[in-house]
Amino acid sequence: MSEQARRGSLVVVGTGIKAVSHATFDAIACIQHAEQVYYVVDEPVTAAWLRRLNPTATSLDGYYAEGKLRRKTYEEIADKIVSTVRDGVKVCVVFYGHPGVLVDSSHAAIRRLRRSGYPARMLPGISTMDCLFADLNIDPGRDGCQMFEATDFLASRRRFDPASVLVLWQVGALGEPSLHDGLPCRRERIERLTSVLRRSYPAHHRIALYEAAQFLGCKPRIRWIRLARLARTRVWPVATICVPPAYERAQDSRVLRWYDEA
Which residues does the annotation mark as catalytic? 70, 74, 96
CA distances from 79 to 115, 185, 189 (A): 14, 30, 33
φ/ψ of residue 57, rounded to 5: -55, 125
d(C-alpha 19, C-alpha 145), whole Å: 26
Largest CA distance in the chain: 68
